[in-house]
Amino acid sequence: MHNKARHTIHSAHHHFGWDHSIPPVLTVAPGTTVEFECPDASGGQLSAKSSVADVAKLDFARVNPVTGPVFVDGAAPGDALKVTIHEFGPSGFGWTGNIPGFGLLTDQFPDPALYIWSYDKVAMSPAAFSPVGHVPLKPFAGTIGLAPAEPGLHSVVPPRRVGGNMDIRDLCAGTVLYLPVEVAGALFSVGDTHAVQGDGEVCGTAIESPMSVVLTFDVEKGANLKTPRFTTAGPASRHFDVKGYEATTGIGPDLMENARAAVMAMIDLLSARHGIKPIEAYMLCSVCGNLRISEIVDQPNWVVSFYFPRVVLE
What DSSP designation does 61 have? G
Q: Average pLDDT, stretch 35-49?
A: 96
How many residues can be counted in the chain?
314
Cβ-based neighbour number of residue 193 at 10 Å: 31
Question: With 70 as the cut, is the pLDDT of residue 142 above it?
Answer: yes
* Torsion over CA: 129, 133, 138, 141 (sign): negative
Q: Average pLDDT, stretch 214-234?
A: 97
pLDDT at position 168 = 98
Could you give the percent of the chain with pLDDT greater than 90? 94
| Banded model confidence at residue 131, pLDDT cuts 50, 70, 90 | confident
pLDDT at position 235 = 86
Rounded Cα gap, residues 81 and 95, in angstroms: 31
Rounded Cα gap, residues 19 and 154, in angstroms: 6
Q: Average pLDDT, stretch 230-250?
A: 94
Radius of gyration of the CA atoms of the chain, in A: 19
Higher pLDDT, 237 or 164: 164
Q: Average pLDDT, stretch 32-47?
A: 96
Those residues whose C-beta lies under 8 Å from the C-beta of residue 1, and which sit 6 or more positions away, are 35, 87, 89, 212, 214
pLDDT at position 225 = 97
pLDDT at position 2 = 58
pLDDT digits (tens, 9 = 90+) for 173-205: 999 999 999 999 999 999 999 999 999 999 999
Kindly list the structural domains of the chain, giving each domain's residue range(s) and its CATH number in brackets, ordered by start. 7-231 (2.60.120.580), 240-312 (3.10.28.20)
Those residues whose C-beta lies under 8 Å from the C-beta of residue 117, and which sit 6 or more positions away, are 93, 94, 95, 96, 127, 128, 129, 195, 207, 209
What DSSP designation does 154 have? B
pTM: 0.95
What DSSP designation does 226 have? S
Rounded Cα gap, residues 154 and 36, in angstroms: 22
Instruction: Compute the mean pLDDT over every residue in the chain, rounded to the nearest whole number.
Output: 96
Question: With 90 as the cut, is the pLDDT of residue 1 above it?
Answer: no
pLDDT at position 4 = 65
Q: Are 34 and 6 in contact (CB under 8 A)?
A: yes
